[in-house]
Amino acid sequence: MNRPEFRPKLALTSEPRTFQPATESIGVLSDGLKLHTTILIGALIQIPLCAILPIRYAIVPALSLLLNSVITTVLQARKPELNKFMKQVVPGRATAQIPSTSTASQGRFSSQPAEASIVVFNVGSQFNHPLGVLAPGVKELGNHFATLKRDILNRREEIGLLGVSTFLADEQESNNTNMLTCYFRDVESLHRWALGPMHREAWGWLNSKKYSHIGVFHETFCVPAKAYETIYINCRPVLLGRAAVEMSTKGPEPEWANCLMNADTPLLKTQYSRLSRDEAGKPKEDY
């Protein structure tokens, strides 16, 4: 039975969409500060202003920041086009579908949900020190982590990378656990990246320093075809929703497709259908 192939919700691009922020260091620094530390920093800035300027002028910076925040919030709430938080949001229901290498080489997606197997790789670090981001080795750790992230994105074709998402844990007030969730086509590609110079350099640095307050971790999950499903509703692409694959085209330039598909079609509407299962939850042998 012929079924229409899945079509990406986002237009093809000449380079893979990564949805990565322009800068991350400032966010890590601010998230690592406790609330009372942030308030203290503001107070320390305000003290010299009050000492130098008349009180009616000394409060101008704080009032200006407050007024700017109020105006910006009101404008963004009233005019969605001004809301920066809606940037890159994919409206409606979407699901991530990864084409097999053979299907992608034909320049198309298939009509079979969860057609290809994937490998999920979580890699992260944490620092457990009262100085937080100012603790010994944390800056170097952050630099190595950023280098690894750039390396994994720059070599995505070589190592079969599908997508990357960054996370910052909030389980402790120091927000000190950072993690990359990466998706690969196969474990051999992941292993090839792990044996590369960037990863070896970072591992060598960590082993040489032996900081007891710095921890690292990774997890690997090999997921076969028809054993995973995803759904995203009005979300910026995240996790497997950031997956991108190169599609074979007749043009001189490569074309990349984000793997988000419309989840309102019959073949992708329910959890069972996205798992290639029938209404009783049994796997479909021949889809």
Question: What structural domains and CATH numbers belong to the chain?
Answer: 39-85 (no CATH), 90-274 (3.30.70.100)
Instruction: State the burial class of residue 153 (Cβ atoms within 10 Å of its Cβ: 0-12, 13-18, 19+).
Output: middle
pLDDT in tens, 98-122: 988 888 777 788 888 998 999 999 9
pLDDT at 240 > cutoff 50: yes
pLDDT at 33 > cutoff 90: no
Q: 3-state DSSP: the chain helix, strand, coil percent, rounded to 5?
A: 40, 20, 40
φ, ψ dihedrals at 167, nearest 5° = -135, 150
Q: What is the pLDDT of residue 105?
A: 77
pTM given for the model: 0.82
Q: What is the mean pLDDT of the chain?
A: 84
- Beta pairing, strands 214-223 & 244-247: unpaired
Instruction: Reduce the DSSP state of residue 283 to 3 states and report it.
Output: strand
Contact 179, 166 (CB under 8 A): yes
